[in-house]
Homo-oligomer: A and B are copies of this chain.
Amino acid sequence: MAGNPVIREILNRYVPVWALGHSMSVLGWDTETHMPVKGAQPRGVASGQLAMMSQRATIELDGLVRKAEKAADLGDREAGIVRVLRRSIDYYLKVPPEMVDELQRVTTEATVAWRSARKRSDFGMFRPHLEKIVALEREIANKIGYERHPYNALLDLYEEGFTVREADAVYAKLIPESKRLLKRVASAGVYPTKHPLESARYDTGAMLKVNEEALKLLKMPMDRFRMDVSTHPFTTQIAQDDVRITTRYEGKDFRASLYGTIHESGHAIYGLGISKALAYSPLGDGASYGVHESQSRFWENVVGRSVEFVELIDPTLKKYLPFVKGYDTAQLYFYINTVRKSLIRVDADELTYNFHTAVRYDIEKKVIAGEAKVAEIPSLWNDTFEEYLGMRPKNDAEGALQDVHWSGGSFGYFATYTLGNVIAAMIWHKMKDGALVHEALRKGDVTELKNWLGKNIHRYGATYSPKQLQEKAFGESYNPERLLAYFEQKYLP
């Protein structure tokens, strides 16, 4: 992969780090899918040990990476290796292990407290935990260092180089325009706000068959991929040739299971498309959380919720889900594309989803800057939510307590969901405002879509920063106009 001898040495010495990462992925996958419940405690010990070994081995690369940074003639891949390793090394060097341990300890307790607090809709129960987490996150931001805004340090952990200024610009465009759009869609009255199929109950075995057929439509390579069940669906890239997703079966509203499967398959298609030449290297992962989410959103929404895809999956639905038989394809399409304001993020449709991330982004930015106190979060949440969506949560369970993320210390994450939506629409735009998608689906073959994504995005892995990658693929980055145009075309044709 590398002509530069220092890079070659780095790559050799990276193999153990890769192996530890591979192993941690398998342990994580097993924990969520098959592990007997009492295996949790030793699993925690083992994962912690492997994480420490991996950190130590990464930090040990510092000297070599320094050497490589002085080299003038690095190719794109070589530069990418240096860039990605520098980010990890700096993080491990700047954030002391005691702080990482402390965050681990605090978030473990906070997650337990959050569960009870949400159940009783009592933010007060969660507040002291969240205060500790926010204090730690602010300290981490200081340790990492930042320009202009402390929240930039945290945004960068999930989306390299992404800043408050850019996020503000995305939301400043997206929020008011989406509000206007939402009104027009509502008054057009084409898309329903609810559908009788939402309460129809399915059999898990039958739903598994539907999902397996969806995997066939997506041409998932079953010798390199598998699907299991877990409480919270996820994708894990164990190796370039071993990517796994999970889905869930709640027993009703089959959209959730089907589109969860397609969403995770989108992540998986990314992982499976990364060049084999990047195996065992620091470049074998995706470019960022935002870019990864763009792949899942592209397949879930742009592909999966299109008329053509609904036509493709319709016979399968009718075969396995008896209650679908009375509905024609158009009716199914509208079930799959209801548009309604809701208080809960995970229930949100394409059009309203970004309001939810915006509320969280606003709040995180303020508390990390010290401009708002944790105690103020519930009222901030409710006020902002009302401003954006014209609805007000009746309690904290359906307000500031709804997500697990904060209890786990994930500050800086939520915006990447919206970046995913934005970048997915940038792909849609590049695919001739979706014409390529519709063509491919009318032929019933997604191969060309996969090839396009493989060529323009997947194969590079983490070679380029998310911005470099977007500039290369689209000639622009994080452009919310594309998402608005996509909405216009879909919802107001």
Contacts and interface: CB of A to CB of B under 8 A. Distances in A.
Interface of A: 15-16, 18-20, 22-23, 26-27, 30, 34-39, 41-43, 45-46, 48-50, 52-53, 222-226, 228, 238-242, 244, 279-280
Nearest to A22: B46
A19 B244 CA distance: 23
A46 B19 contact: yes
Contacts of A244: 36
A238 B23 contact: no
Given A39-B224, A224-B36, A49 B242 contact: no
Which of A30, A41, A239, A240: most chain B Cβ within 10 A?
A239
Contacts of A36: 222-226, 241-242, 244
A223 B42 contact: no
Contacts of A53: 16, 53
B280 A38 contact: no
Contacts of A228: 34
Task: Report the 8 A-B pairs with minimum CB-CB distance, sorted nearest first.
Answer: A39-B242, A19-B49, A42-B239, A38-B241, A19-B46, A22-B46, A23-B23, A38-B224
A17 B484 CA distance: 54
Contacts of A43: 22, 239, 242
Contact of A223 (B16, B26, B37): B37
Nearest to A47: B19
A46 B18 CA distance: 8
Contacts of A224: 36, 38-39
Contact of A38 (B16, B22, B37, B223): B223
25 contacts: A15-B45, A15-B49, A16-B52, A16-B53, A18-B45, A19-B50, A20-B49, A23-B26, A23-B27, A26-B26, A34-B34, A36-B222, A36-B226, A36-B241, A38-B223, A38-B242, A39-B239, A39-B241, A39-B242, A41-B241, A42-B239, A42-B241, A42-B279, A43-B239, A43-B242
B26 A30 contact: yes
Given A18-B45, A36-B241, A42-B241, 17 more contacts: A15-B45, A15-B49, A19-B46, A19-B50, A22-B43, A22-B46, A23-B27, A34-B34, A36-B222, A36-B224, A37-B223, A38-B241, A39-B241, A39-B242, A41-B241, A42-B240, A42-B242
B34 A46 contact: no
Nearest to A48: B19
Nearest to A284: B42
A465 B176 CA distance: 74
Contacts of A15: 45, 49
Contacts of A52: 16
A224 B37 CA distance: 7
A225 B20 CA distance: 25
Contacts of A280: 42, 45
Contacts of A242: 35-36, 38-39, 42-43
A86 to B, nearest CB: 23
Which of A19, A27, A222, A280: most chain B Cβ within 10 A?
A19
A226 B34 CA distance: 8
Given A36-B226, A39-B241, A238-B39, A46 B30 contact: no
Nearest to A279: B42
A16 B49 CA distance: 6
Which of A15, A26, A34, A224: most chain B Cβ within 10 A?
A26
Contacts of A39: 224, 238-239, 241-242
Nearest to A29: B30
Given A15-B49, A16-B53, A53-B53, A22 B42 contact: yes
Which of A30, A41, A42, A225: most chain B Cβ within 10 A?
A42
A283 B244 CA distance: 34
Contacts of A279: 42
Nearest to A238: B39
A23 B280 CA distance: 18
Contacts of A41: 241
Contacts of A27: 23, 26
A140 B34 CA distance: 39
A23 B38 contact: no
Nearest to A16: B49
A172 to B, nearest CB: 44
A400 to B, nearest CB: 34
Which of A20, A39, A50: most chain B Cβ within 10 A?
A39
A26 B242 CA distance: 15
